[in-house]
Structure 1
Amino acid sequence: MARRKTGNVLSEDVDEARKQIMVAAEKVFQRYGVSKTTMDDIGREAGVSRPTVYRYFGDRDTLISAIIERRSRMLFAKARKFLLEKETFADQLVEGLIFLVDRGRRDPLIRILVSPEHMQMAEPLVGASGLAARLTAEMWDPVIERAMERGEVRRDVDREKMAEWIALVQFILVGRLDFDRPDDPEHRDMLRTFVLPAFLPSAVPAATAKS
């Protein structure tokens, strides 16, 4: 398939120009796949030269990481609206994790962040930089803070370790949801039994939170 060139012109605003390049990159990633896409392909799609792309993003990994952040935050916005419908932290955590992972695993770029099959690619992109844990904390910190204020979550939770733990749970869920329907009750039972109790005050047993 021939690589096409468009007539797009980048904005003079730096942030907007970066966004234009990311949008162009997303298109070619979806067309050719992340591993087969070159910076030349991205430049052609954006209507600029490869050196111009490098002026805004120092290397390919930096560009991919920026796109993962962008798409993750778009997903977070939808997830936060979804969580507003849940009255308890238990439901927010369980249903929120399934919501995020189910939609994230179907996005070819977010999947790099949450899928075990992409660990080799993901490590230099998000592992060393802490991007996965940072994005996880960005999504869940406000939820946990409000749950603490309501007395539903223990106050001695280490936020950094919490983000790492939730990120690991997401890896597990990707594999489960790839083979079983998202509405399979076993997913929720697993989360309520083995994940939720880590957040609960010692006086609140998991069985109580489930009711």
Structure 2
Amino acid sequence: MIDAAIRLFETSGVQSSSMADIATEAGISRKTLYRVYEDRASLIEDILNQRLSAIGNKIRKKISSFSDIEEALVEGSIISIAAARRDKLFHKIVLEETNHQLEQYLLLGGGESTKQDGIDTWSPILDKARGKGLIRKDLSNVRILELLVNVQAILLLRDDYGKDEQRSFLKDLLVPAVLNI
């Protein structure tokens, strides 16, 4: 079902692909599709979780290579945003799907497995910086991930920002929010 939806989204567009179209493409009835996915938003959420997991796997090693926490927050965010933009389907869904559930999904950081991937990616460098006293004491890794996800979601939608503008935005907003400055 997800593969059928992905094929349709890539060829016909996100907005043009109905649940009926997806069921037909998958070779199943709409009723069967609705047994698995209660609505279109839950199907899209599953697709986004898959895409975010793949993006996370691609960037995890890069983020863990940073030794400086400020550089990790700024450059790691830029790498994350670039990876999300390179995933054409992910970016297409974000740009074309115009319901508030998608915005809420992005701002909440995805599903539980996506959140855990984020924690797994960022915790090593956050814990190291915390051990050096560089991170605000009142912030847990979960809260920092929430801040990262929210700021990255804003920048993902700001495709008028190049890397220099992203860097400035992150240094002005994210760095002081997380670090003891």
TM-score range, shorter chain: 0.7 to 0.9
Q: CA deviation at 1:130?
A: 6.6
Greater RCO (CA < 8 Å, at least 6 residues apart): 2
1:132 to 93, 96, 109: 109
Bigger Rg, structure 1 or 2? 1
Gaps of 5+ in 1: 1-20, 206-211
Which letter maps to 1:29? F
1:167 pairs with 2:149:
yes
Pairs within 5 Å for 1:63-142: 63-111=43-91, 120-121=98-99, 123-125=100-102, 127=104, 131-132=108-109, 135=114, 138-140=117-119, 142=123
Report if the CA contact (8 A) 2:59-2:79 is conserved: yes
Aligned to 2:177: 198
Rounded Cα–Cα distance in structure 1 between residues aligned with 2:64 and 2:145: 20
Q: CA deviation at 1:67?
A: 0.9
Rounded Cα–Cα distance in structure 2 between residues aligned with 1:179 and 1:82: 25
Q: CA deviation at 1:91?
A: 1.4
Which letter maps to 2:131? E
Structure 1 vs Structure 2: percent identity of aligned residues?
Answer: 31
TM-score by length of 1: 0.68
Between 1:161-170 and 1:29-38, the stretch displaced more is: 161-170
Number of residue pairs aligned between Structure 1 and Structure 2: 176
Question: What is the aligned-residue RMSD (CA, Å)?
Answer: 3.0
TM-score by length of 2: 0.77
Q: CA deviation at 1:129?
A: 9.7
Higher helix share: 2
Report if the CA contact (8 A) 1:94-1:191 is conserved: yes
Q: CA deviation at 1:99?
A: 1.1
1:187 to 146, 151, 166: 166
Q: Structure 1 169/126 Cα, relative in aligned 2: closer, same or farther at 3 Å?
A: closer
Gaps of 5+ in 2: none
Rounded Cα–Cα distance in structure 2 between residues aligned with 1:82 and 1:124: 30
Between 1:80-89 and 1:42-51, the stretch displaced more is: 42-51
Which letter maps to 2:109? A
Q: CA deviation at 1:158?
A: 4.9
Rounded Cα–Cα distance in structure 1 between residues aligned with 2:87 and 2:136: 33
